């Protein structure tokens, strides 16, 4: 196994480990972060004219948005908000396809901005974990001193 393959395998295992041990809120944040990283990579590859790598990165971003973020929506529970998010994710996917065809970094920036805003909103709704309250024990009763007498009476 060459070094690049080893690093990639390690990276995949690390990501999978995080995903299995994360709560649902954290998983959505990880999806946003993954999509943003893929788009940033695509932009750099676009600027370096690395056509194949750019296409791979954009495909990865599309997959994260479609198969992760959009697929995790529950329109029965989320109602109109979930429908609107689904439509927004579809729009992002269309824009990423256009960015790929036109080599347009401005479109990549547009989608990144949308994802950043959504990630920020998602982060803001995170409920802090309840802090454990210190255990307060009942005040101890003063111990009465008893005199023990040894000896004769």
pLDDT in tens, 19-39: 455 678 889 999 999 999 999
pLDDT in tens, 40-78: 999 999 999 999 999 999 999 999 999 999 999 998 999
pLDDT in tens, 94-106: 999 999 999 999 9
pLDDT at 13 over 50: no
Question: How far, CA to CA in Å, does 120 sit from each of 114, 115, 138, 148?
Answer: 10, 8, 44, 71
pLDDT at 135 over 80: no
Helix (H) or strand (E) holding 15: helix 3-21
Structure tokens of 49? 């004219």
- Enter the CATH code of domain 23-124: 1.20.120.340
Predicted TM-score (pTM) of the model is: 0.71
DSSP string, 124-144: HTPPPPPPPPPPPPPPPPPPP
Structure tokens of 92? 């992002």
Three-state DSSP state, 151? coil
pLDDT in tens, 76-90: 999 999 999 999 999
Per-residue pLDDT at 127: 63
Per-residue pLDDT at 21: 52
Return the higher-pLDDT residue of 125 and 8. 125
Question: How far, CA to CA in Å, does 9 sit from each of 17, 40, 44, 110, 128?
Answer: 12, 21, 23, 31, 33
Per-residue pLDDT at 144: 54
Average predicted confidence (pLDDT) for the chain: 81
What are the boundaries of each domain within the chain? 23-124
Torsion of CA 138, 142, 143, 145, to 10 degrees: 180
């Amino acid at each position: 196994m060459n070094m690049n393959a080893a690093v990639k395998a390690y990276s995949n295992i690390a990501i999978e480990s995080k995903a299995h041990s994360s709560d649902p809120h954290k998983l959505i944040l990880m999806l946003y972060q993954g999509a943003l990283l893929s788009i940033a990579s695509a932009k750099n590859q676009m600027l370096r004219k690395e056509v194949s790598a750019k296409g791979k990165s954009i495909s990865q971003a599309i997959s994260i948005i479609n198969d992760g973020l959009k697929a995790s929506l529950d329109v029965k529970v989320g109602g109109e908000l979930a429908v609107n998010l689904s439509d927004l994710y579809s729009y992002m996917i269309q824009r990423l396809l256009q960015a790929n065809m036109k080599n347009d970094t401005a479109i990549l920036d547009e989608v990144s901005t949308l994802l950043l805003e959504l990630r920020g909103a998602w982060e803001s709704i995170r409920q802090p974990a309840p802090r454990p309250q210190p255990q307060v024990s009942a005040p101890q009763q003063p111990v009465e001193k008893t005199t023990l007498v040894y000896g004769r009476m």
